[in-house]
């Protein structure tokens, strides 16, 4: 690739359609402006390696009796493990007379910090709320998949959860 008079790399003005995904050149969502003399393809093997560690975990009902966080004992990451959470969903039972709820999926680190994993969902009488995570994430040992109840009328309401995770020993 020809360099400029001062030895600088040539500036890329536009890339061919499909070249960025093929070469994996986007960096933090931005297209590169300069291109090196050497272009080497890369292949992300993480998903192929994670498939052997993947499992589905279904958590039993937990009663949401007030606004705040609720945790599911089955979704606590044990010591010596790291979980790659590929999919996570919380779900309420069908709400009875006078009940209403708004909740969102989250995870808790060290029993203190709640990290939001998706948008909130609401439900009223005769409905179910089913919010799900909108991004994949790692959860470290001691972390726990949970739900944040933002509004609740005429509780308690039973909430269950399910997750597809890849479990890695660390």
Give pLDDT, residue 44: 80
Give the other-Cβ count within 10 Å of 9's Cβ: 15
In angstroms, the CA 136 to CA 141 distance is 17
How many angstroms separate the Cα of 65 from the Cα of each of 69, 148, 162?
10, 12, 20
> At a CB cut-off of 8 Å and minimum separation 6, what does 99 contact?
124, 125, 153, 154, 155, 157
> Is residue 166 pLDDT above 70, yes or no?
yes
Q: Which fold has domain 55-169?
A: Jelly Rolls (2.60.120)
Largest CA distance in the chain: 77
What integer is the mean pLDDT of 1-19?
A: 59
What integer is the mean pLDDT of 41-63?
A: 88
What integer is the mean pLDDT of 25-40?
A: 66
> Is residue 35 pLDDT above 70, yes or no?
no
CATH 2.60.120.220 residue ranges of the chain are 55-169
């Amino acid at each position: 690739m020809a360099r400029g008079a001062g030895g600088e790399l040539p500036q890329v003005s536009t890339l061919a359609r499909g070249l960025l995904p093929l070469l994996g050149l986007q960096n933090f969502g931005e297209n590169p402006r300069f291109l090196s003399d050497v272009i080497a393809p890369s292949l992300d093997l993480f998903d192929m390696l994670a498939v052997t560690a993947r499992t589905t975990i279904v958590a039993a009902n937990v009663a949401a009796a007030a606004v705040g966080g609720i945790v599911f004992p089955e979704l606590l990451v044990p010591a010596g493990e790291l979980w790659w959470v590929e999919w996570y969903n919380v779900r309420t039972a069908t709400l009875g007379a006078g009940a209403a709820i708004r909740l969102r999926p989250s995870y808790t680190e060290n029993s203190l910090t709640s990290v939001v994993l998706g948008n909130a969902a609401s439900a009223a009488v005769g409905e179910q709320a089913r919010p799900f995570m909108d991004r994949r994430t790692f959860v470290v040992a001691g972390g726990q998949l949970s739900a944040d109840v933002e509004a609740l009328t005429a509780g308690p309401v039973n909430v269950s959860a399910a997750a597809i995770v890849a479990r890695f020993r660390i």
